[in-house]
Chain A
Amino acid sequence: MQRAKLAFVLVTAIDMRYPAVITIGSYEISLTIAEISIERLRIIERLAKTLALGSDTYRSGRISAEKTSILLSYIEEFKLKLKEYPTSDLVIIASSALSEAGNRYLVCEQIRRRFGIEVLLLNKNQEMAYNHLAVRGAYANFQQAAAEGLLIFEIGYGSVQLSLYTEGELCFSQNLSLGTLRLHERLRNLAKTADYADLIKEYIAGDLQHFQSFAPKKTEIKHLIVTGSSVSNRFVVSAPEEHTTLTLADCHSLEQNLLRNQDYTSLLLPTVTLIEQAILFTGVEQAILFPAVPADGVIYQLQQTGTIEQLPTTVIEEAISAAKRIAARYRTDKRHVNTVVRLALCIFDQLKSLHRLTDHDRLLLEISCNLHNIGKYFSMHDDQDISFALLQAMELSGLSDEDLSTIALLVRLHRGNFYTDSHYCRLKPAEQIRLTKLLSILVLANAADAGHSRKIRQIKLQRRGKYLDFKLFSGEDIALELHALKREFPILTDLYGLEVRVKQEKYDE
């Protein structure tokens, strides 16, 4: 009886997983340990060591050997700490201080050699996505706020990210280099002046105006969530009663307190000033504070998908939604784009057994389809080059630099003749093959709507021996599309060694 009881206990306890995330931030190195099951996510430990890597990167562009050594020793300490729990996964992520450092790969290699773990260098998009995930996990009314008009104002040490949600979707996002440590580094010589707070405000105001000029007009912001690594409950502690909101008056009083106490002026003052400015320009009564950090988002992702490789649905939706908004901003032909997306995904799904690409590749394909014509807003001739340049600087929630690079290349090369393209040629063989597989689908989908008239309603693919049969379902004359498609079929032959046959089938409504 006793044994049976124990066995039950062990089985249920094993259902729990204990992932851990080490975050290499700009100002501190932190460890987050969580307990997750299908039903529940609980952060069970959060600890940090101060290490201002950001001051190295933002001043000299590289992480010093001394700080690298300290960083390694802190990771070592965290590894010891993890022995206190039955830790299941350990993920190391790095924010801008390391991601932007010139010697980032060398530092990462040292970590890999010593601990056997690859560092996930987060770009702004990924940081933003993980922060949004964290906020979603922490704020029960997120969906309602996003539907009513919500600005998430993430204050990091390196940058500030503004993300605007309307009608439940992310509609605009902008990163500004106004992180607290960055501000401090830039304005440190003025820190002792009496009007330091005003100087910060002045410095911030310019960039915030820039955001306003680009943000969608006629958007009412009813909710302001302030989050990010620079935001903490320290503000709340000094408030008279426990709460997690700040009004303009609170900000002002905190600002005065901080100015009186010179010890606290370094990073907290820029943070308070940023919050104050955010309240002012959104016009909300109060900011809701969430000390959420990207690590929480990673934990949430691990709970949702079981792996760091796979993005959670919400991130995918946000990325696609952002791509659609960008496409709209550059006035692309919405109906054509939607057709290309539909057909491309249809081809992707039917060729799975041949291409063996991942769900993440499918997402990149979908985004590329959405964005494949954005350069035409500027020029009808070199539009792919313009698209390429635009996409490399684009902010797409949750996507890594490699992802953005893949999307940019797909868009650049989708007009064919890519074998001689210099960017394509520089790719490693495996990358070339992956990119070509994705590219083949994009160009086929695009060709299938060559006349932008959505004549092909459906495509069915079937492999028969050495043939790959295309059945195009349409009730109209598709001579133009057939011509365009036939021109692109050689890619498929090059990729899979199959001869492509094509046939039109009547589309029955």
Chain B
Amino acid sequence: MSEAHLYRLLTTLIDQQPVQETVEQPYINRELSWLEFNLRVLGEARNVENPLFERLNFLAITCSNLDEFFMVRAGSLHELSRVSPQSTDITGMTAREQLEEIVNYVKYFNKKQYSTYHRQLLPALAKVGIHIVRSEQLTITQREYLADYFQEEIFPVLTPIAVDSSRPFPLIANRSIYLYVGFEESEEITGFDDYRPFALIQIPQVLPRLIRLNEAPNTFILLEDVIKLFIGEMFPHLTVRETVCFRITRNADFAIEEDEIDDLLVEIEDKLKLRRRGEVIRLEIDKKVSNEVQELFVDLLGKPDAIIKIKGPLDLKFVSQLPALYRSFNGEQVLNFAPFTPSVPPELVDFLEREPSAIFAEIARGDILLHHPYQSFDSVVRLIEQAAADPRVLAIKQTLYRVSGNSPIIGALIKAAEQGKQVLVLVELKARFDESNNIHWARRLERAGCHVIYGVKKLKTHSKITLIVRREETGIRRYVHLGTGNYNDQTAKLYTDLGLLTCRDDIGEDATAFFNMLSGYTVPESWRQLVPAPRLLKNRLIQLLDREIRYAQRGERSYVIAKMNSLSDREMIDKLYAASQAGVKILLIVRGICCLRPGVKNLSENIRIHSIVGRFLEHSRIFYFYNNGEPRIFLSSADWMTRNLSRRVELMFPVDSPACRSRIEDILALQMSDTERAHRLKSDGSYERIDRRGRVRLDSQNVMIKQMMENEYE
């Protein structure tokens, strides 16, 4: 792929973009932008061109995304509205105003989500013989079967909690479905305050959410529906007045005052316990709930910011279990994406298939670019394993942010420590929702003799880097793996990321200095190739953009292509606006949040933004600066968000090998040409699918699978 081709693609795309004359607000609110992203994921659940089971997965993803959004983003806004009610975001909205906008949007989103479930997915499931039935649809024999099932399997694990004047309202678990059971007042039970008596039942998470019915192998009923069906058996002496399912989401965003603590690990363990008691931000409740019960919840749960009435089952994540439960009787059906086996990079075939020790010689021959999940992440895992076994390896150092449940990487590090190698691992304990997992791994690694550090004070260490120090004939040589994604063998099958294997001296020296910095030594005065955040990364990006601006002002060709997950840093956005105004052509491929408003006259008419949402989660960060004909290409662990650039330890690294650069140009060109999974951000903040008219239909992720399987990139 030539640079000229990239430029043609870019200019064509920008020229075709409609230009908005004016806008009231130059920025897009980040929360609403994120919600727009979730809507694009939902769009994939609605996309009939996707296989059915994949559509179910997309739907489930929207649910877990939204849960996390409420726990973290809405949670932090809730807190902000309390401590600093007047402070505003870049669009001028206060936290309270943002929360109100969020609630409005989520109500709209939920309608669309449930319409997808009821009107599209359930009928589509029925077509392949899968049914999720309600209790009134059961046959007599099915009902009898469920009665037995209830008695034998469900009843023993249910723990109803009666709430009355002598028993206070219990602690409701975050993200767990509960059944409210309201009773008529009687001698056996009385209410409290102004409320009539009721009990709460937590829908047990130890049982499957979907129960297969007898005589119909692909017909299921939801667990909560079965409990509701037989609720009378639990309270034989009471009259059940009303049953309502509900679910709450708590604020899980907590801050750690690192200046005042002795042991970060213990502090985080304590904070995790507090997370269970965070304030209720969202209440999801059955649409049929009575006013009385709704008032009760609002009162007892502390006035949640969002009360969302749901028409259908709560927490649709259960739909992702269907593919595993499905029993096919109709032969092969295309219900999933076609399976594919990640390819082995040609440079590493020998290493992976024949001669494990060949890896170091291969890296020494030249930099190797890895593109996951199209290329196997196994090569990274095996590299660590080989380093652990290699007698010439003196030390292994690695940063870990999120690792899988049974991480082979950690296994290899433990083995290396047991072999007497110096192993230094930075485990980021503050990685949200992975805190417990990371505490567990940190302790395992420490027990094995690894030197474990917990990151830099007040910063999250998000960089992905491994350093292997090896003593060779010519002296010490450092092998470095730098990545855009986590050292997680499981997510590496689903996230698109890039990794670079190199033994360049300058990068090796910087990597050494980087780990020293993480270990508490003074920050090096200068870096040869790596660009770390928070100190330098943003400045460097600004400097690179300034250079493009200077070229554009001189009337020379000037353009930037950048791919990232999110763009929300105001300084970066302003610099991009300035670049656009100077005539720099800019194409951004931003998968998620984007606060920049493209295509606005005299502001951003030279900026076009795409978002690709597909089979794999786009996760790589690629920054390409034309640099007057000598393009600079960087990969990074950082998005252009303030948190990444200012509050995290991140890395940006250059790709200089011609072969690797050419592949990255190919990736960018392919993604820019995507017509199937790409959306264009409009100047009003909404997204639209790419206009296919006059274009060759192209799904960049599918093309990449095909190319990698055929090793076409060679």
Contact = CB atoms under 8 A, between A and B. Distances in A.
Contact of A233 (B521, B526, B536): B526
A232 B522 contact: no
Contacts of B542: none
A439 to B, nearest CB: 47
B475 A232 contact: no
B513 interface: yes
Nearest to A242: B526
Contact of A86 (B394, B524, B536): B394
Contacts of A37: 475
A49 B521 contact: yes
Could you tell me the dominant secondary structure of chain B's interface residues?
mixed
Interface residues of A, number: 28
Interface string B505-533: 00000001100100011101110000000
Given A45-B512, A84-B394, A13 B522 contact: no
Given A50-B522, A234-B525, A237-B525, A86 B471 contact: yes
B526 A234 contact: yes
Contacts of B176: none
B511 to A, nearest CB: 11
A232 B526 contact: yes
A84 B526 contact: no
B513 A84 contact: no
B712 interface: no
A84 B395 contact: yes
A84 B422 contact: yes
Interface in A6-39: 9, 12-13, 16, 18, 28, 35, 37
A280 interface: no
B262 interface: no
B476 interface: yes
B469 interface: yes
A234 B526 CA distance: 6
A115 interface: no
A358 to B, nearest CB: 32
A49 B522 CA distance: 5
A28 B525 contact: no
B471 A13 contact: yes
A12 B471 CA distance: 11
B473 interface: yes
B259 interface: no
Contact of A236 (B473, B522, B526): B526
Contacts of B521: 47-49
Contact of B394 (A9, A40, A85): A85
Given A86-B394, A234-B525, A236-B526, A35 B476 contact: yes
B472 interface: yes
B395 A232 contact: no
Contacts of A85: 394, 469, 476
A291 interface: yes
Contact of B475 (A16, A50, A84, A234): A16
Nearest to B522: A48
Contacts of A147: none
Contacts of B475: 13, 16, 35, 37, 40, 42
Nearest to A16: B475
B614 to A, nearest CB: 40
> Which residue, A16, A42, A84, A233, has most C-beta atoms of chain B within 10 A?
A84
A393 interface: no
A83 interface: yes
A45 B526 contact: no
Contacts of B524: 46
> Which residue, A28, A83, A236, A291, has most C-beta atoms of chain B within 10 A?
A83
A86 B475 CA distance: 11
Given A35-B476, A85-B394, A86-B394, A47 B522 contact: yes
A282 B475 CA distance: 42
Contacts of A233: 525-526
Contacts of A40: 475
B517 to A, nearest CB: 9
A83 B422 contact: yes
Contacts of A232: 525-526
A155 to B, nearest CB: 14
Contact of A12 (B473, B476, B513): B473
A291 B522 contact: no
Contact of B469 (A50, A84, A236, A237): A84
Interface string A42-57: 1011111110000000
B525 A13 contact: no
A85 B477 CA distance: 12
A232 B472 CA distance: 31
A222 to B, nearest CB: 27
A237 B473 contact: no
A16 B476 CA distance: 9
Contacts of A16: 475-476
Contacts of B522: 28, 47-50
A40 B395 CA distance: 23
Nearest to A233: B526
Interface in A346-384: none
Nearest to A74: B521
A424 to B, nearest CB: 47
Contacts of A28: 522
B526 A9 contact: no
Contacts of A236: 526
Contacts of B471: 13, 86
Contacts of B513: 46-47
Contacts of A12: 473
Nearest to A11: B473
Contacts of A80: 451
A236 B521 CA distance: 21
A2 to B, nearest CB: 11
Contacts of A237: 525-526, 536
Nearest to B546: A240
A47 B522 CA distance: 7
A236 B471 CA distance: 32
A124 to B, nearest CB: 24
A285 to B, nearest CB: 23
A330 B536 CA distance: 54
Contacts of B476: 16, 18, 35, 44, 85
B525 A45 contact: no
> Which residue, B451, B521, B524, has most C-beta atoms of chain A within 10 A?
B521
A111 B469 CA distance: 30
Contacts of A47: 513, 516, 521-522
A16 B394 CA distance: 15
Given A45-B512, A45-B516, A47-B513, A291 B473 contact: no
B473 A9 contact: yes
A14 to B, nearest CB: 10
Nearest to A35: B475
Contacts of B512: 44-45
Interface in B447-484: 451, 469, 471-473, 475-476
A108 B525 CA distance: 29
A45 B521 CA distance: 12
Nearest to B526: A233
B394 A13 contact: no
A16 B473 CA distance: 9
B602 to A, nearest CB: 29
18 contacts: A12-B473, A13-B471, A13-B472, A16-B476, A18-B476, A35-B475, A37-B475, A42-B475, A46-B524, A47-B516, A47-B522, A48-B522, A84-B469, A85-B469, A233-B525, A233-B526, A236-B526, A237-B536
Given A16-B476, A45-B516, 17 more contacts: A28-B522, A35-B476, A37-B475, A40-B475, A42-B475, A45-B512, A47-B516, A47-B522, A48-B521, A49-B522, A80-B451, A84-B394, A85-B469, A86-B394, A86-B471, A232-B526, A237-B536
Give 4 nearest A-B pairs by CB, closest first.
A233-B526, A232-B525, A47-B521, A47-B516
Interface of B: 394-395, 422, 451, 469, 471-473, 475-476, 512-513, 516, 520-522, 524-526, 536
